[in-house]
């Protein structure tokens, strides 16, 4: 009987996870597939070159793009329009090999318009030197500078270099949700504690790859090793739906975007179904934070002698 129970236990553990050289690989819970609700558009339709044009290679008639970092340059894309609230997603495959100092960022920002009090919502994928494993960092700025970031870090439950995975930002007046393969990895609820630093101005969408040796590797301790270059990230399955505005329009938006003459569409994620996380989504969020999160600014007592107001509300 004891042997039978042990066998059942082994089989059960095997169903939940497998083991690789990267450690346990956990099977995530099932969640709603939000990315199936919105249309995918070609990269060439929604974005244009930001920098490093020679290191941007379009594929599949512009539906996909490789953005590349080598000794000459990094590269980046920027949305053709700015957006106030919405749903922003892309499938991304990261560079393989030793990637210390390499950063792939998929994010929203208006720092070009508001350099001293900008808003930002960030996915930052950080190459790693110790376990040769990419780290996912999320961050948010509202009406602030880069000194006021609110970083959290998780280890991914898959190898992001082997195939495409979806990285998604949902932003509305109720909350900001960061999702990976439709699983929430972080939620920032728009409440009184966080209202003064909640992103409130239209932003552009960016995708960049760059040398972040000084910033991402403890002051350059583990710089990018260009012996392993080029570092190629692939991106596609782009989704950008929100209150879109032409770049020449006024950067002021109104709640719901319904009364602004420069707006071409109403907010697609303002309804009740996007106001809170479902039970499935909450289960996914709790799973990520319990098994995979290893840093939160709200736990960083060496950085903050007095924690930001929203940390007490969590």
Q: What is the CATH number for 178?
A: 2.60.120.200
Domain count for the chain: 1
Whole-number pLDDT of residue 295: 95
pLDDT (mean) for 6-33: 58
C-alpha distance from residue 126 to each of 69, 71, 169, 223 (Å): 14, 18, 18, 12
Q: Which domain holds residue 72?
A: 30-305
Residue 285 lies in a domain: yes
For residue 23, being part of any structural domain is answered with no
- Terminal-to-terminal C-alpha distance of the chain: 46
Report the alpha-carbon distance of residue 54 to residue 217 in Å, rounded.
27
Q: In sequence order, which ranges of 24-172 are alpha helices (DSSP H)?
A: 43-46
| Position 5 in a domain | no
Give one DSSP letter per residue of 240-262, joined into a string.
Answer: EEEEEEETTS-S---GGGTT-TT
User: Is 24 a domain residue?
Assistant: no
Determine the pLDDT at residue 247: 66
Average pLDDT over residues 1-12: 47
**Closest to 88 in 3D by CA, of 198, 174, 218, 177:** 177
- Do 194 and 188 form a contact (C-beta atoms < 8 A)? yes
Q: Is 129 a catalytic residue?
A: no
DSSP-derived 3-state class of residue 6? helix
22 lies in some domain: no
**DSSP tag of 142:** E
DSSP bridge pairs for 295: 153
**Eight-state DSSP code of residue 192:** T
pLDDT at site 144: 81
Q: Would residue 273 show up in a list of annotated catalytic residues for this protein? A: no
Q: Does residue 120 fall inside a structural domain?
A: yes
CA-CA-CA-CA dihedral for 95, 69, 104, 302, to nearest 10: 110
Catalytic residue among 32, 120, 273, 310: 120
Q: Does 7 fall in a domain?
A: no
Asked if residue 171 lies in contact with residue 109, where contact means CB atoms within 8 angstroms, the answer is no
DSSP 96: P
Q: Which of 32, 124, 237, 310 is catalytic?
A: 124
Beta bridge partners of 177: 170, 187
More confident residue, 115 or 230: 230
**Residue bearing the bigger pLDDT, 292 or 16:** 292
Residue 310 maps to a domain: no
Q: What is the pLDDT of residue 222?
A: 83
Q: What is the pLDDT of residue 182?
A: 98
């Amino acid at each position: 009987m004891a042997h039978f129970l042990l066998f059942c236990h082994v089989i059960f553990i095997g169903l939940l996870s497998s083991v690789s050289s990267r450690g346990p690989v956990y099977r995530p819970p099932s969640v709603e597939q939000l990315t199936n609700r919105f249309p995918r558009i070609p990269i060439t339709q929604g974005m244009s070159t930001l920098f490093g044009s020679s290191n941007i290679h379009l594929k599949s008639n512009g539906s996909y793009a490789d953005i590349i970092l080598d000794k000459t340059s990094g590269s980046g894309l920027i949305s053709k329009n700015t957006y106030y609230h919405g749903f922003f997603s892309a499938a991304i495959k990261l560079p393989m090999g030793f990637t210390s100092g390499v950063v792939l960022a998929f994010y929203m920002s208006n720092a070009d318009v508001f350099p001293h009090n900008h808003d930002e919502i960030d996915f930052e994928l950080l190459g790693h030197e110790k376990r040769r494993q990419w780290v996912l960092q999320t961050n948010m700025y509202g009406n602030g500078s880069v000194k006021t970031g609110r970083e959290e870090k998780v280890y991914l439950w898959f190898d992001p270099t082997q195939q495409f995975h979806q990285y998604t930002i949902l932003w509305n007046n109720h909350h900001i949700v960061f999702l990976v393969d439709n699983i929430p990895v972080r939620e920032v609820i728009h409440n009184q504690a966080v209202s003064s630093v909640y992103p409130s101005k239209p932003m552009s969408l960016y995708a960049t790859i760059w040398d972040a040796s000084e910033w991402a590797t403890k002051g350059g301790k583990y710089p990018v090793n260009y012996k392993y270059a080029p570092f190629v990230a692939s991106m596609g399955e782009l989704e950008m739906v929100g209150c879109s505005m032409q770049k020449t329009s006024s950067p002021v938006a109104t709640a719901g975007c319904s009364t602004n003459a420069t707006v071409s569409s109403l907010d697609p994620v303002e309804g009740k179904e996007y106001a809170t996380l479902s039970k499935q989504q909450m289960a996914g969020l709790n799973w990520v934070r319990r098994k995979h999160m290893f840093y939160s600014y709200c736990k960083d007592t060496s950085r903050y002698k007095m924690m930001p107001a929203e940390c007490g509300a969590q």
